[in-house]
Structure 1
Amino acid sequence: MPVSLSEAIRTVLSGSTQPLSPGQIRDQIKTLFPHLYQTEAHRVGIEKGNYQSFDHALLNPIYALVTRSSDFLVDRTVKPMLISLASEEAADEAPEENYESEQGLVYVLGTGLFTSSGMKIVKIGHTTQPLLSRIAQLYTTGTPFQFEELHTWRTRNYTELEQAMHRLFAPFRINRAREFFTEEVLLHVTAVAAIHASIQSARVVA
């Protein structure tokens, strides 16, 4: 059975004596696991304008996977960020995301938690799984309440929409290393998603 992207990333990192950037991981995967590079999904994504190149088509899901899975530790204090393997005890045993999928969900979830000033805390993320599966995955022993769906958008370039929201809503972010924000973002999420949808549906006229 062919090695998955997640397995390939783990293999690359386990063979390195130091953390690697997403670009370094991509370059090693191109050499060690060529079946994961220039795939049919990559070709289609480039033709539809989702990716700029084959390198971009491989880098994008690497970035999305390492920043979302507890299998990996991400050091965002440096640029480019550096990735290393988490301990086995911290590894996430949930099903892997399918980053070959052309579409995914960007979600805003209520957490049932509040800041010290009484503001609601929400989570902004993305998934290629059914939303209920993702919510169940997030409901761990360290989470006192099951998350609640507030907004979802099924879209192409879902990781770009999520990342745009994370950047735009940085003033409302509780912890730069986590995907949690104050409820103030709820005034703006629909507008940002609408702009993304408009861009995705636009056609370039030669």
Structure 2
Amino acid sequence: MQGELSFTDVVREILRPHPEGLTPQQIREFVKIGYPQYVGTPSHLKNVAAGNYKDVDHAVLARIYLACRGASDIAADKSRKPHLMTLLADATSVETRADDFIEGEDLAKLEADIGTLYVLSTGLYTAEQVEIVKIGITTGSVDKRITQLYTTGVPFRFTILSQLETTNYSKLEQALHCLFDKYRINKSREFFTGNCLKFLPDLIAIHRKIEEA
């Protein structure tokens, strides 16, 4: 049944018969026609009422960008404006970001592929007294993202260690998560021991050089 699909799976179903790709705006129209139950959700209405998005159409568009950003089998041609999304035929369907947060995200930055990579202290330590940190991304304010994280009931006391606004931010996060895999805490995707932080400045410098080239 359609209602059992995750929103990312809805986007996949829409893209599958369109190997030439679709823009997020085109995907939104397919969602409205074929999957109307995913339009005007309580989350959409809450965010519109809070002034985070102009209307439900903008909230749905933000959700599409987030779904594509978090799916390893959906490619975005960012050389085009708006982006062109395509489903990779031979890729494994893995969602690297499972959350449905649209609150606090910035639609203009999602469209421009500009976001913030952040590193948060958790206030927790390993048995060897090495601090546990969280590495994540947002297109909104990091403070608002921290507030969201607290609403999920996580037992941490987050403080900001560093933040970097950059283009191609989601790829930077994915690269860091891959490179820092040996420092990952219990295979939890975004939590690592602080030992990884000594490598962060050099990796960010490389990212900046690539983006400026």
TM-score normalized by the length of structure 1 = 0.59
Contact 2:177/2:189 (<8 A) preserved: no
Identity %: 37
Distance 2:18 2:25 in 1: 6
SS of the residue corresponding to residue 176 of structure 2 reads helix
SS of the residue corresponding to residue 117 of structure 1 reads coil
SS of the residue corresponding to residue 112 of structure 1 reads strand
Select the residue among 182, 191, 209 that pairs with 1:180: 191
Distance 1:92 1:153 in 2: 23
- In structure 1, list runs of 5 or more residues that go unmatched: 1-11, 40-58, 68-78
Match of residue 93 from structure 2:
81
RMSD: 3.8
Shift of residue 188, structure 1, vs aligned partner:
0.7
Match of residue 160 from structure 2:
149
Distance 2:118 2:13 in 1: 28
Shift of residue 24, structure 1, vs aligned partner:
3.2
What letter corresponds to residue 36 of structure 1 in structure 2?
P
Match of residue 75 from structure 1:
none
Q: Do the aligned partners of residues 20 and 80 (structure 1) sit closer, same or farther apart at CA in structure 2, a change above 3 Å counting? A: farther
Shift of residue 28, structure 1, vs aligned partner:
4.8
Distance 2:162 2:206 in 1: 15
Select the residue among 61, 66, 69 that pairs with 1:64: 69
Q: Deviations over 1:58-80 (max 9, x none)?
A: x985343469xxxxxxxxxxx61
Contact 1:110/1:121 (<8 A) preserved: yes
Distance 2:113 2:128 in 1: 40
Select the residue among 114, 118, 121 that pairs with 2:125: 114
SS of the residue corresponding to residue 132 of structure 2 reads strand
